[in-house]
Amino acid sequence: MTRTLAGYTDRISACPGETIAFKVSAEDGSPSYRASLVRLHCVDSHRDGPGLEEETIPSAFDGEHPARRQPIRIGSRATVEGGGAVSGLGSFSIAMMIWPTLEKEAPQVLFSTLDGAGGGFALAVGAGNRLSLSIGGQDLALDRPLLTREWALVAASYDAATGEAALHAVPANVHAGFSPPQSRMAKFGRKLPTGAAGLISVAARLEPDGRPVEHYNGKIDSPRLLSRALPLEALRRLIVEPLAAQFAADLVAAWDFSEDMGSERAIDLSPNRLDCRLVNMPSRAAKGWNWSGGFQDWKTAPQEYGAIHFHEDDLSDCAWETDFTFTVPKNLPSGCYAAKLEGQGDPEHVVFFVRAPRGKPGARAVFLASTATYIAYGNYRVMNRSNLYEMYLGQLPELVESDLFLNTRPEYGDSLYATHNDGSGMAIGTRLRPTVNMRPNTTLSAFNDDGWIFSWLKAMRLDADFITDEDLHHEGLGLLSDYSLVITGNHPEYISTQMWDALDAFLTRGGRLMYLGGNGFFWRVAFHDDVPGVMELRRAEDGSRPWEAEPGEYYMAFNGEYGGLWRRVGRPPQGLVGVGFTASGFDISSFYRRTEQSADPRAAFIFDGVGDEIIGDFGLAGGGAAGQEIDRYDRALGSPPHALVVARSEDHTEEMMIGKEDMPAANYIIGGTENPLVHADMTFFETPNGGAVFSTGSITWAAGLPWNGFDNSVSRITRNVFERFVDPKPFVYPASRERTA
């Protein structure tokens, strides 16, 4: 069987009294499906683990619901309701700078007023990368192709009085010899309906039913539309001087994509104010045709960042209609939940989190769900596409049903580990779509592995509320003030500034933190101010990364911050949690060995009842508690001098390789059998005002918790720390002393 139902929610979490909307689509044409509420205590049916554990809870949405198929209209574009300023067009000129990035046989529309009934015009890059103009069923195309990833002025005009049409392409740089300036004229006939219904579509053409087709891949900068046919030289001038007085009477629109950078609109400078609405979040803060190379931050020279990069596979919001809603009851415990949808195929779980009532915590501890990481890995399908993935893993990839399903659903979008069809990196992630691997029994060290922490809390009968990264981003320190202990998931890799600042302040004020993972607090991200659930990432010039942003495009459009590694902005994870990413490898996992510092009286509570020297030589992920991605203590990167490294991993293979950011210091000896930096450090340290931090430094620590029915050293150590960290007795900050590890 395979899944036939898919869904998502409008919000990732809710407090009692708040309402969540569920959007559902049936792939198989079924007339109905059944819905029920389940609490997820374990989300992985691993043969050696506790198995999938879901608790059915009566809810108002239980029962049969009518099914329908809801489309996903993938691909970014801009639309403008032009009204009479556009519908009344007769003669016109259109000009813009473009930077095409993908050659296709199918047309890629740059600008269209076509209405599907023979009215309107379209400027496009057609077969063979040749510029074309279509009006009233007549076409004009240039003879030679445009160069990909090279700027060119493209322009067209039509004189309704004479019927003459003109088409131009002028390269902007020294490669003109390979693609010289081109112009072509034709007689199209007089008084054609060029404005049609007045609807403009940029970077795609709209079918009569509103469906976008023929998406453009590449950048567009400085589009200009006029109600008069102008010669090429005048159109060139309009790019630089859109508001020149001599063109004022004929100017319909002059869009400046450098304005209002973080929004979903693009500003029209003309008196008509025909602002564009951007659909599916094309990439902004992109270098324009006039980028000088003298500036790296778009905020310092916005006039050089007037481009938007459109892609046929952008997706920020499926925009499905709501099928049913759920208002969280007052007595529903905080935790991880799902609407379980059952039809003809495998059940679909639409996951969400329930928080405690605002200002009324149900526990002293709170689990921080790594929903930013869930977004970053959402619909990850690199293993399905890359011929290097087997080498990367050091073993044959193991595909599960969700991977096979994604193979047949490109419209569900990809992860932030993928590249667009034109080769540029995917920098915008979203949860406003079905996220197939944020479900039970899927892959990757994120949501499913966090489920082992959920199941451990239940098995140990330990109370903890649940919140999410988005909650922390939007509410900050105030959200944490009700708790004495924050517990992370196994892979809190993606962190916004607001999240980092809140955790840092929480620790400064005496809070406690259990970092139960690895490769955490690594990449800096931004969330969109106006569209909750949409996140931006710029992979800058460092770090182990599947793609890297264009030079000059390292600053995020959503908030203007420098992207990339937290380490590159002077905040290595070591300064927050004592350890930071050092190596990754996915063949087998290893174990920890206790250090001499584990005998320090300050750490006695950690190992209470644990007599073993070897910790975690078992687990559900690679056979050990130290694996996949691991972190190390490093004073040079800000690890506290008084921190205790109480255990250190060893016996890693050559597949466990150091991160790229550490290669220059390691003389390119990168494998785990030789490089001294390849080890996970389990650390503990106190913070001012009675707080403390415990870090495991390994993604697979959580996978060791359920081993042997939760009766093992990994589970015992984690419980010891939990119980001491919720104890209100303050930790004593030790006298200042320097140490080395």
Q: Tens of pLDDT along 538-550?
A: 999 888 888 999 9
Averaged pLDDT for residues 403-431: 92
Percent over 90 (pLDDT), the chain: 85
Three-state SS string over 589-611 comes to EEEEEECHHHHCHHHCCCCCCCC
Pick from 51-65, 189-203, 570-584: least confident: 189-203
Q: Which residue matches tokens 């869904």? A: 7
Strand partners, 525: 496, 537
Averaged pLDDT for residues 47-61: 93
| Cα Rg of the chain, angstroms | 28
- Is pLDDT of 666 > 70? no
Query: Of the candidates 440, 469, 586, 455, which has an alpha carbon nearest to the alpha carbon of residue 518?
Result: 586
Query: Of the candidates 545, 628, 529, 535, which has an alpha carbon nearest to the alpha carbon of residue 588?
Result: 628
| pLDDT at res. 671 | 85
The average confidence (pLDDT) of the chain is: 94
CA triple 244-246-249, angle to 5 deg: 100
Band (174; pLDDT cuts 50, 70, 90): confident
Chain centroid to CA 5: 23
Question: Do 381 and 443 contact (CB within 8 A), yes or no?
Answer: no
| pLDDT at res. 404 | 77
Pick from 169-183, 444-458, 607-621: least confident: 169-183
Averaged pLDDT for residues 114-143: 94
Which residues, including other chains, have CB under 8 Å from residue 531's CB and lie 6 or more apart?
A: 264, 281, 316, 317, 432
DSSP for residue 337: E
Strand partners, 196: none
- Is pLDDT of 739 > 50? no
d(CA 564, CA 554): 7
User: Which burial class, exposed, middle or buried, applies to 741 when counting CB atoms under 10 A from its CB (0-12, 13-18, 19+)?
Assistant: middle
Query: Which residue type does 75 have?
Result: G
Chain centroid to CA 428: 5
| pLDDT at res. 741 | 43
Query: Of the candidates 214, 210, 215, 213, which has an alpha carbon nearest to the alpha carbon of residue 199?
Result: 210
H-state helical runs in 191-331: 232-240
d(CA 101, CA 103): 7
User: Which burial class, exposed, middle or buried, applies to 602 when counting CB atoms under 10 A from its CB (0-12, 13-18, 19+)?
Assistant: middle
Query: Which residue type does 438 have?
Result: M
Percent over 70 (pLDDT), the chain: 95
CA triple 31-37-40, angle to 5 deg: 125
Query: DSSP letters along 25-47, please?
Result: EESS--SEEEEEEEEEEE----T
Check the CA dihedral 35-41-46-49 and report its sign: negative
Q: Which residue has the higher pLDDT, 155 or 344?
A: 155
Locate 26 and state its tokens: 């049936």
| pLDDT at res. 740 | 44
Query: Of the candidates 408, 425, 405, which has an alpha carbon nearest to the alpha carbon of residue 417?
Result: 425
Locate 362 and state its tokens: 């149900």
Q: What share of the chain is helix, strand, coil (3-state, %, to 5)?
A: 20, 30, 50
Question: Do 646 and 682 contact (CB within 8 A), yes or no?
Answer: yes
Averaged pLDDT for residues 666-688: 88
Q: Which residue matches tokens 């000129």? A: 93
Domains of the chain (ranges, CATH numbers): 5-72+322-362 (2.60.40.10), 77-310 (2.60.120.200), 366-370+440-530+557-726 (3.40.50)
pLDDT tens across 342-397, in order?
A: 998 889 999 999 999 999 999 999 999 999 999 999 999 876 666 565 666 666 66
Query: Of the candidates 238, 253, 247, 218, which has an alpha carbon nearest to the alpha carbon of residue 79?
Result: 253
| pLDDT at res. 389 | 59
Query: Of the candidates 678, 61, 718, 706, which has an alpha carbon nearest to the alpha carbon of residue 352?
Result: 61
pLDDT tens across 679-738, in order?
A: 999 999 999 999 999 999 999 999 999 999 999 999 999 999 999 999 999 999 987 544
Averaged pLDDT for residues 85-113: 96
Which residues, including other chains, have CB under 8 Å from residue 645's CB and lie 6 or more apart?
A: 595, 597, 633, 681, 682, 683, 741
Averaged pLDDT for residues 50-72: 96
Strand partners, 213: 205
d(CA 295, CA 304): 9
| pLDDT at res. 444 | 65
pLDDT tens across 448-501, in order?
A: 999 999 999 999 999 999 999 999 999 999 999 999 999 999 999 999 999 999
Averaged pLDDT for residues 74-97: 95
Task: Count how many residues are written for the chain.
Answer: 741
Question: Do 112 and 134 contact (CB within 8 A), yes or no?
Answer: no
Averaged pLDDT for residues 222-233: 97
| Phi-psi group of 413: left, alpha or beta (phi > 0 → left; psi -120 to 50 → alpha; rest → beta) | left
